Every structure is written in C-alpha cells, then in structure tokens.
Amino acid sequence: MDENKKDRLIDLGAEALADALLELASQNDAVDDLVDRMIATPRENIQRFKAKLAALKRFRGFIPWGASSGFARELVTLLQDLKAGVDDPKTGCELVAVFYETDKGALGNCDDSSGFVGDVYRYNAKELFVGFARCCSDKEWLAKLVFKLNRNDDFGVRDALIHCATEYLPEPNIRSLIGWLEKETDKESDEYKKRHWLNLIESLARQIRDPQLFEKTRIASWGELSTAACLDIAQVYFESNEPKIALSWLERIPAGETFQAHDRDRLLLDVLGQLGEVQKQADVAWRIFRRHRCIRSLQELLSMIGEDQRDSVMASEVVSILGDKAFSSSDAAFLVELGRLDEAEAYLLNRADQLNGDDYGSLPPLGEAMEEAERHLAATVIFRALLDSILRRGQTRAYHHGVRYLKKLDRLAKSISDWRDQRDHSAYQQQLRDTHGRKRSFWSRYEDH
C-alpha cells in the first residue's frame, strides 16, 4: 500500500472522500454495492443478503460462459453482505448453509466451464463457513448441519465442508459424522451414490489420522486394490506415523509397475527415512535421480551418499547420458545445468532427428539456453523442430510463435559457418516453402513482421 497516498487522501477529509465514493458508485455497480454495505447496519446487511438470495432462487434464466465471471463476483458480494451482517456464529453457519443450497440454481443455469462460479462455493463460501464454525460452540449441531447439507450434493461443491472438517470440528464430532455417513452407505443401493459416501468417509479418516478406517473404506469402495489405492493407503499410514505398515503397502505394488512410479518412490524415500533404512533410501534416491536427472534430484542423492561423491556421480552420469542413443529433453537440460555445454551440444546434434517439436514445455527453454551459450547450431535444430511442429499441425493460433522461431533462425544462421550434417538455412527455408507454401496466413505474418 502507498502510505503517502493514503495519508494525502486522509488529509482531504471525510466529506471529499464521501463525494468521491458516491461519484464512483454512480458509475459502477460493484462500488455502489460496497457503499451500501458500508453504511448499512448489520441487520440491514442480513436483509440485503436474504433479498439477494431469494432473487437467486427465483432466477430462471441462463448465464452464458462469457458472463460467468461477473455472476461469480455477484455471488462473492452476496457472501460479503452476510459476513458484514452476522456476529452470531451459529446464525452465520446456518446462512452459509442456505447459500450452499442455491448451488442447483446457480450452477444448473450457468455455463461454468471456467469454474468461476463453482469456486465461489468451494473456496469463498467454505472459508466464510469455517470462520463462523470455529467460533460456534455447539459442535454436535454443526456436524449435523454439515451432514444434512451433504445429503444432496449434485454439483460436488458442498463436500468442500467435509474436506476441511478438522478446521472446525473436534475428533469426537467427526467420529459422529463418520457414523452417520456409514449408515447412509449401508442403506444406499446405487453404486455411484454409495461411492460418494465412502469418499467422504475416506476424507475424514485421513484428516483424523485413522489409517485403518481409510484402508477399510477404500477396500469397500473399490474392491480389488489398484496401484493408486495401495499408494494412497500407504500415504495415510505414513502420515499417521506408522511407517512399517506404510512400507508393507508399498511393497504390494509390483516392482516393474510404471504407473505413479515417481509418486511411489517419493513416498518410499520418506518411509525408509523414517525407518532409518539409509542404504535402501539411497537406492531409491538413485532410481529417482536416473528417472529424471536434474540438479534437485542430484542434490537429494548427494545428501544421502555424501557430497564428496559429486564429481564421480557427475562424470559417470554424463558418460551414461551420452551413451544412450535415445533423446531425453530432461537429460539435455541436465547437461546444460551442469555447465557441460560441449556435451549438451553434441548430445542434441547427434539426436536432432529425434527432437519432438510438440514438446513445447521443455524444448523452448532448452533452445534459449543453447542460444544464450552461443551454441547456435544446437539452438537451431531445436527451434526448427518447434517450427516444423507448428506448421505441420497448421494451427493458426500458434503461427505467431512459428514466425518468432523463423525470425530467430534467420538471425542464428548469420553466425553459423559449419552446418555439419544439417541443412543450411537457405535449404531449410526452401524446404519449408515447398512443404508449407500454401499456408499463406503464416507467410504473410512472417513477411509483415
């Protein structure tokens, strides 16, 4: 905040600021709403909230995608009226619950593809509810209110109050809530709805550190346990300070399983650390490092095997990378991170035909790094791959990137005298013209740039 500006505004006096606010309010509905909220009594703000809520419930129109963000802001101001008008926590919780019950009208009559409206329920309303709920002394009533609200959650926003239950409910009341949810599960015949109740129980079990309940519920929910289920159960046991059982669940996952392999090894690293299994922990660190070589994974490995091993690890890994004929963008980036630019350049040029220009997450920064290091031929093969991908796909919205790459290639070509086994720039440009000459939108942008 600009304190000098604030002081000067204060010096203008209350009347001048009031006039300015009223002028702004006449031009902007949001400011007008803010002014009304500021000058209203708490009772009046509650009345404003209820009037807006009633209008929302009566609404039968449709909110298109383009208007969804504005509609979301209206819902936020509605909650702000509630916050400004309530000083009794129990009343506040009741009214936020009433707000949640508008989800059908709000989300059912809105194209919320961007998620703006749903986020008001998942985050803004949840935070307001939690603020009131923490101060509410009747925790049993509060647990029943949350349970009742979640009996109808067609749009998947009310469960936000379940997923943060430990922020406002003590464990005994959460146990009561779990019991009510289990009864609903037992009564439910519809498989989808049954799984909904079980998911809520899982969330609560995890929050109160009850891995046995989490395990039982996951088995009841999915039956035959997948890799993901074993990993989740192991995670909850680890979070509950039971590393031996966590390890036993991780060991149920087949050694050659690649699904969620990184997540499994990250958890295994933590579990073995808690068990004091230093050598096994180092073995896992090696596996993580070799799956994705980078400075961070290298440092983690060295923290276990000793910093004095840095030079030998780096030397052996560079040999290993260069000996692998398959291209890996992460390995190329690792060579750059190590400052092994000669090796990085050779690695890229020897595998230029393997570069996938669709990899626009990894290749652009790699190309920029090689350009900055004045390895212009290596940078060229990267930017060519990116440009080839854009033109091959023919997506006009990406043509501005393609024009930028071709202009960059024009500049790089001026400093390259030895093209080795790569086409020189004029031959490459002619190939582009021959293959993509009919993409007039691209070429006109390039020529006008």
For residues 285 and 302, what is the distance between their CA atoms, to the nearest angstrom? 9
For residues 428 and 405, what is the distance between their CA atoms, to the nearest angstrom? 13
pTM of the model: 0.78
User: Which residues is 304 bridged to in the sheet?
Assistant: none
- Structural domain boundaries in the chain: 22-57+69-107+116-163, 361-449
Residue 448 corresponds to which tokens in the numbers above?
A: 């006008």
- Is 272 in contact with 281 (CB distance < 8 Å)? yes
Locus of tokens 């009741």: 94
User: Which residues is 110 bridged to in the sheet?
Assistant: 63
How would you write the pLDDT of the chain (449 residues) with one tens digit per residue? 566 777 777 776 777 666 666 666 566 555 555 645 554 566 666 777 777 788 777 777 899 999 999 999 989 988 988 888 888 999 999 999 999 999 988 898 899 999 999 999 999 999 999 999 999 999 999 999 999 999 989 999 999 999 999 999 999 999 999 999 999 999 999 988 999 999 999 999 999 999 999 999 999 998 878 999 999 999 999 999 999 999 999 999 998 899 999 999 999 999 999 999 999 999 999 999 999 999 999 999 999 999 999 999 999 999 999 999 999 999 999 999 999 999 999 999 999 999 999 999 999 999 999 999 999 999 999 999 999 999 999 989 999 999 999 999 999 999 999 999 999 999 999 999 999 999 999 999 999 87
